[in-house]
Amino acid sequence: MRVAIAGIVHETNTYCKQPTFANEFYQLRGKRMLETRGQESDVGGAIDTCERLGIEPVPLLYAAAQPSGTIESATYDAFKQEILDGLVSNGDIDGVMLCLHGAGVVEGIQDLEGDLARAVRVQMGEAVPVVASFDLHGNITQDMADALDGVFACHHYPHIDLHERAAEAVALIQRMLEENFRPVTHVSSAPMLIPFATTFIGAGKAKLAQILLAEEEQGVIDVSWFHGFPYTDIVHVGTSVAVTTEGDREQARRIGETLVEGLWADRETFRARSLSADEAVVEARREAEKTTRPVIIHETSDNCGGGAPGDGTHLLRAMLEAKLDNACFGFLVDPEVAGLCHEAGVGARLTVSLGGKYDDLHGAPLELTGYVKSLHDGRVTMRAMFKGSPLNLGPMARLVVDGMDVIVASRRSQTFDIEPFLAVGIDVMKYDYVALKSSAHFRAGFQELAGAIVTADPPGLTTLKLEVFPREHAPGPLWPVD
Ligand SMILES: [Zn+2]
């Protein structure tokens, strides 16, 4: 049995001012995709599962970029064509596994995944199984699901189970071929936007537990709760449940509709609390009095993992003004300042204009004088979410400013785990305050070690205040913005 593996993964924030081009995609082709073996990612899970089940993987193309603006059409067209060509030129293919996100938007195409899945389906014909794994932040449609034989979104946010869902998707191909049946997927949607809601605590955790119970029913292959990605202006933005059954469409519809009614009924539990940077610092101080462990302050509104620049200065400014003792910040994205620190060298003192260069929304640049404590090339191996995967943050520097350790990186990423801190010699357990930019993925690496977690939501492209984003394409009123 031979299964083709391909993917285009992008979470598109249509409110970003710049489009996304091919050079921003991390691209693995052919045999190089096999290097993801053992990584806890969608593609790594797909490769591992093929090999475990005795399936020959036929790796075509895996292209993934940091969340950012709308994808340039020529970029998408080239990736799509490369995948379609690969399906023809690689001999007999028994099934296709697509690694997707679900919130991809291309110039002129609001539904990247639907477009790609349909093209693959047309090329392979009705008889060949085509399945896909997704990120739970996908804005999914029935149209997308109809082109596929199975829809498998990660269940957790942080996404610690991408490889497990990819494994289920690949296993379904084998089952379909051996047992000769045709699954169906029904997508039920609610007119609601969930502000980033982790499944590690609170309302998200409780709701996920309820939803997963539905997977126990006889005949159900998968139940995927798509939280949706709210930072996009498209017609199918929103929250959905996709239920894949062994062929009973009515069963899939019944389960999906019931779960979506439950999500709607409980919508107020997802309403987010939004603190300014200054308010978050005050709250962090209160929390620090109650614990000997570090208090994590996460700047959710400047999350590269949702399309924000990562160079925002609101939280760092508030922390410096409050003169927080024994604090570190990991990290701001500013290649210019990281470069200056590398030129100056360890031990140098220099004055820099840090951050705030992308736009005015994320705060003004901070004029700071600091001491270069250490430098790093920025290449780390992830240890929590995406465990085992490489991450390249570009040249990094640890600047000490008024006693506070401020890490500067060169490439956009949110902070997932303690690796960026360790890289520049920081043991976060020795700090009272640890600041970072992420919305929920950081929890996979920090929740266990934190004394408390405080959310800062100053202005930014991934703010929890969803009402600030104009919506030309929304299908109608959406909770909680209308
Ligand atoms: Zn996601």
Q: What amino acid is encoded at 79 in this protein?
A: F
| Mean pLDDT in residue range 418-443 | 98
Contact between 166 and 99 (Cβ < 8 Å): yes
102 CA to centre of ligand 1 in angstroms: 9
* 20: three-class secondary structure by DSSP: strand
Query: Can you tell me the distance from the alpha carbon of 469 to that of 466, in angstroms, rounded to the nearest whole number?
Result: 6
Q: What is the mean pLDDT of residues 325-338?
A: 98
CA of 197 to the centre of ligand 1 (A): 10
Q: Which residue has the tokens 């073996």?
A: 37
Residue 474: band (very low, low, confident or very high) from pLDDT cuts 50, 70, 90: confident
* Averaged pLDDT of the chain: 97
| Domains of the chain listed by start with CATH number | 2-270 (3.40.50.2300), 277-466 (no CATH)
Q: How far is the CA of 89 from the centre of ligand 1 (A)?
A: 33
From the CA of 35, how far away is ligand 1's center (Å)? 23
Q: Which residues contact 115 (CB under 8 A, 6 or more apart)?
A: 80, 106, 109
Taking the centre of ligand 1 as the mean of its atom positions, its distance from the CA of residue 359, in whole angstroms, is 24
- Binning pLDDT at 50, 70 and 90, where does residue 207 land? very high
Q: For residues 49 and 62, give the distance between their C-alpha atoms in angstroms, rounded to a whole number.
A: 16
pTM value surpassing 0.85: yes
Q: How confident is the model at residue 324 (pLDDT cuts 50, 70, 90)?
A: very high
Ligand 1 centroid to residue 101 C-alpha, Å: 8
Q: Tens of pLDDT along 38-50?
A: 999 999 999 999 9
The model's confidence at residue 83, banded by pLDDT at 50, 70 and 90, is: very high
Distance 298 CA to ligand 1 centre (A): 17
Tens-place pLDDT, residues 386-395: 999 999 999 9
Between the CA of 381 and the centroid of ligand 1 the distance, in Å, is 20
Categorize the per-residue pLDDT at 414 as very low, low, confident or very high, splitting at 50, 70 and 90: very high
Distance (Å) from CA 184 to ligand 1 centroid: 24
Asked if the model's pLDDT at residue 9 lies above 90, the reply is: yes
3-class secondary structure, 48: helix
Q: How far is the CA of 159 from the centre of ligand 1 (A)?
A: 7
Q: Tell me how far the alpha carbon of residue 67 lies from the centroid of ligand 1, in angstroms.
A: 10
List, as one string, the DSSP characters of 174-233. Answer: HHHHHHT---EEEEEEESB------SSSHHHHHHHHHHHHGGGSTTEEEEEEE----S--
Q: How many other CB atoms are found less than 10 A from the CB of residue 178?
A: 9
Q: 403 alpha carbon to ligand 1 midpoint, in Å?
A: 35
Q: Tens digits of per-residue pLDDT, 130-149?
A: 999 999 999 999 999 999 99
Is the Cα dihedral 85, 124, 4, 130 positive or negative? Answer: positive
How far, in Å, from the CA of 311 to the mean position of ligand 1? 21
Q: How remote is the CA of residue 308 from the centroid of ligand 1, in Å?
A: 14
- Give the span between the Cα atoms of 282 and 277, in whole angstroms: 9
| CA of 153 relative to ligand 1 center, distance in Å | 10
136 Cα to the center of ligand 1, angstroms: 6
For residue 82, the CA-to-ligand 1 centroid distance in Å is 25
CA of 10 to the centre of ligand 1 (A): 10
How many whole angstroms from 111 Cα to the centroid of ligand 1?
Answer: 16
Confidence bin at 438 (pLDDT 50/70/90): very high
For residue 325, report the distance from its CA to the centre of ligand 1, in Å. Answer: 33
Alpha carbons 421 and 396: distance in angstroms, whole number: 10
The Å distance, Cα 481 to ligand 1 centre, comes to 21
Cα 66 to averaged position of ligand 1 atoms, centre (Å): 11
Instruction: Find the 135 Cα to ligand 1 centroid distance in Å.
Output: 5
Separation CA 198–CA 216 (nearest Å): 23
Question: CA 394 to CA 416: how far, in whole Å?
Answer: 16
pLDDT tens digit sequence for 360-411:
999 999 999 999 999 999 999 999 999 999 999 999 999 999 999 999 999 9
Q: What is the reported pLDDT for 476?
A: 87
270 CA from centroid of ligand 1 (Å): 16
What pLDDT sits at residue 298? 98
- For residue 158, the CA-to-ligand 1 centroid distance in Å is 8
Q: What spacing in Å lies between the alpha carbon of 224 and ligand 1's midpoint? A: 13
Neighbours of ion ligand 1 (CB under 5 A): 135, 137
Asked if the model's pLDDT at residue 122 lies above 90, the reply is: yes
Section 272-291 average pLDDT: 97
Q: What pLDDT does residue 475 have?
A: 78
CB proximity list for 461: less than 8 A, separation 6 or greater = 13, 15, 16, 231, 301, 302, 306, 307, 308, 309, 361, 362
Cα–Cα distance measured from residue 127 to residue 154, given in angstroms and rounded to the nearest whole number: 26
